[in-house]
């Protein structure tokens, strides 16, 4: 079986979508299944890569939990963000501790030991502790000495970004919209790292199974295929103030899913890859909140909503258009 994959740069601008994420989950599920784990573990470097991807995907899941509730749910967002921070802190500190033990660095080993005992305090104490841990780990990550333990400068950058997001959310709830943008960037960065490890390392190491275990090798590549995800189901929003100027700070959330987006400098937001079915969506700006729907999202449908609001948050006018295959229905309020 001939397989070829395009190499991915750690700073790739490739548009990763649901299909890539599903493929990563498929690879991890296959490699760590009870019937396969012994085979996976037979090549240590390959097993380490798979478990690192698994850890990154777990962090992605924690971060995604932040994006599944409306932006006004600060308490639930903080809880989900804290869970993500505890997870990434535990993973990186454990890796740094292993490095310290292997290199007989007693100072670093003491600093990195028993992270769980420091992660159960209040939010302010957690932030202070994590910032100190980041300061201790950063020189080693920047020097590349933690690379064999799957901790890179990019990993530490994501770690710092998560703690900064939690701090900002606590300091000023109005920053939550900006935090949502940062969270989506962190999710992308983690998925990018996973794709980098998969295409640049895992896809090479799997060749060691080609002769010794062809069934395992072939099943890996079967799970490695992308099953394209339809992006034709979309929601488009345009939000203006009472003077016709764009509202540039706001979030759109498809309720009950992980699909969301934020308003850009033109007051525009596109949410695509919406699961087929009936959904409501929430529009939240610093002065305006409203839940719309339910709308029936079908393949080939695009829903467009134009909203105009006053500076005090009152609705001035809204027009929604549902574009189907054969007809367009407009409703004006």
> Measured between alpha carbons, how far is 83 from 91 in angstroms, rounded to an integer?
12
CA dihedral 28, 32, 38, 39 (to 10 degrees): -30
Band the pLDDT of 15: cuts 50, 70, 90: low
Residue 1 burial (C-beta neighbours within 10 Å; 0-12, 13-18, 19+): exposed
Helix or strand or coil: residue 329?
A: strand
Residue 65 has pLDDT above 80, yes or no: no
Specify the pLDDT at position 285: 83
Indicate the average pLDDT of the chain. Answer: 83
Residue with tokens 């901790």: 151
- At residue 221, the pLDDT reads 95
Question: Which pLDDT value is given to residue 317?
Answer: 85
Of 198, 156, 164, which Cα lies nearest the Cα of 183?
Answer: 164
Cα(57)–Cα(242) distance, integer angstroms: 43
pLDDT, residue 327, reads 36
Please, which residues bridge with residue 302 across strands? 234, 323
pLDDT band for 172, please (50, 70, 90 cuts): low
Question: If you average pLDDT over residues 284-307, what whole number do you get?
Answer: 83
What are residue 319's DSSP bridge partners? Answer: 306, 332
Assign 203 a pLDDT band (cuts: 50, 70, 90): very high
Q: Where are the alpha helices (DSSP H) in 103-175?
A: 106-112, 123-143, 153-171
Q: Residue 325 class from Cβ within 10 Å (0-12 exposed, 13-18 middle, 19+ buried)?
A: exposed
Where does residue 51 rank: exposed (0-12), middle (13-18), buried (19+ CB within 10 A)?
Answer: middle
- The answer to whether the peptide bond before residue 255 is cis (omega within 30 degrees of 0) is no
Determine whether domain 234-332 maps to CATH 3.40.50.150.
Answer: no
- At residue 138, the pLDDT reads 96
**Tokens representing residue 229 in the block:** 């995800």
The answer, yes or no, to whether residue 2 has pLDDT greater than 50, is: no
Q: What is the CA radius of gyration of the chain?
A: 23
Query: What is the structure's pLDDT at 329?
Result: 33
Is the pLDDT score of 26 beyond 80? yes
Residue 108 pLDDT? 95
Per domain, the residue ranges of the chain are: 18-223, 234-332
Tens-place pLDDT, residues 259-280: 888 888 888 988 888 888 888 9
pLDDT: which is higher, 179 or 208: 208
What torsion do the CA atoms of 83, 120, 98, 190 make, to the nearest 10 degrees? 10
Instruction: Describe the strand order of the beta sheet including 260-262 as a list of residue ranges.
Output: 260-262, 251-254, 277-284, 289-297
Query: Is the predicted pLDDT of residue 198 greater than 70, yes or no?
Result: yes
Nearest to 176 by CA among 186, 165, 184: 165
Q: How far apart are CA 310 and CA 33, in angstroms?
A: 55
pLDDT tens-place string over residues 218-262: 999 999 987 654 456 888 899 998 888 898 888 888 888 878 888
**pLDDT above 90 covers what percent of the chain?**
42
What value does the mean pLDDT take over residues 165-171?
A: 77
The pTM (predicted TM-score) of the whole model is 0.53
């Amino acid at each position: 079986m001939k397989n070829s994959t395009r190499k991915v740069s750690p700073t790739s601008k490739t548009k990763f979508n649901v299909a890539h994420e599903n493929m990563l989950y498929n690879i991890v599920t296959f490699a760590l299944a009870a019937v396969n784990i012994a085979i996976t573990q037979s090549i240590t470097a390959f097993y380490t890569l798979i478990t690192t991807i698994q850890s990154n995907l777990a962090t992605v899941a924690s971060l995604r939990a932040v994006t599944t509730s409306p932006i006004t749910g600060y308490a639930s967002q903080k809880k989900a963000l804290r869970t993500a921070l505890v997870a990434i802190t535990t993973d990186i500190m454990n890796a740094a501790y292993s490095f310290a033990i292997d290199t007989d660095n007693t100072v670093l080993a003491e600093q990195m030991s028993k992270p769980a005992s420091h992660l159960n305090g209040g939010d302010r104490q957690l932030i202070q502790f994590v910032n100190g841990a980041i300061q201790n780990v950063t020189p080693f990550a920047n020097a590349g000495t933690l690379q064999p333990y799957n901790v890179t400068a990019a990993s530490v950058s994501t770690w710092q970004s998560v703690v900064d997001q939690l701090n900002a959310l606590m300091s000023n709830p109005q920053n939550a919209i900006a935090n949502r943008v940062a969270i989506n960037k962190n999710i992308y960065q983690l998925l990018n790292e996973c794709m980098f490890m998969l295409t640049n390392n895992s896809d090479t190491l799997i060749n060691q199974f080609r002769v010794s275990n062809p069934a395992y090798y072939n099943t890996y590549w079967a799970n490695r295929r992308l099953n394209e995800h339809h992006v034709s189901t979309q929601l488009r929003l345009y939000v203006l103030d009472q003077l016709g100027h764009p509202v540039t700070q706001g979030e759109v959330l498809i309720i009950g899913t992980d699909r969301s987006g934020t308003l850009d400098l033109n007051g525009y937001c596109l949410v695509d890859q919406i699961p087929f079915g009936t959904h409501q969506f929430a529009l939240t700006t610093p002065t305006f909140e409203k839940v719309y729907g339910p709308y029936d999202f079908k393949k080939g449908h695009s829903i467009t909503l134009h909203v105009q609001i006053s500076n005090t948050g009152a609705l001035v006018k809204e027009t929604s258009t549902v574009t189907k295959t054969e007809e367009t229905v407009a409703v004006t309020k």
